[in-house]
Amino acid sequence: MRVEIVEFDSPIGSITLAVCDEYLCALSFSESWPASVAMLGRRFGSIDCRMVEETAGVVSHLKSYFSGSVEALSEINVDPGGTQFQRKVWAKLCELQPGETISYSNLACRVGSPTAVRAVGAANGSNPIAIVIPCHRVIGADGRLVGYGGGIEKKQWLLNHERTHRRRAVIRKLGKIG
């Protein structure tokens, strides 16, 4: 299986991503990339990794996102693999608006499994496409930031970035109405 790999410098650190057949299938902070490579190997078997500068427009969308167009992530085609339950959790995460947060228990209710809070947490933790599948938007029941593979500081940065730029987009839209 041919997999195109891109390294991307973001405001919160180096990101490495993988695209297969025009679909983003892995994205992580570069320090966690070895675990992503192992996951890709388990998923696809033998992989032929090729370093490229851009693939399937993913880097352009990420640059737009980090420049303030926080809606740009929704334009990236993803194929995270995973179990049916994991895909259900990840799909619900993608329904959240940029900067919006949800608790693990509320997310469990949204996927139709209100008693599966730990399973939702496990699915969130095994998300192979960080940022694009916005696992950083999940918070503790008490509203605190908890559990993010990239670290709580990056999670806080992402949420602040999304909230700031989402507000600016709303203000711009309202300005056009009035």
Q: Tokens standing for 42?
A: 């388990």
Catalytic, out of 20, 49, 109, 135: 135
Instruction: Indicate if 135 belongs to the active site.
Output: yes
DSSP for residue 128 = S
**DSSP structural state of residue 149:** T
Decide: 14 and 7 in contact? Cβ < 8 Å.
yes
Q: Is 50 exposed, middle or buried (0-12, 13-18, 19+ CB in 10 A)?
A: exposed
Q: Which two tokens stand for residue 19?
A: 């695209």
Catalytically annotated residues: 135
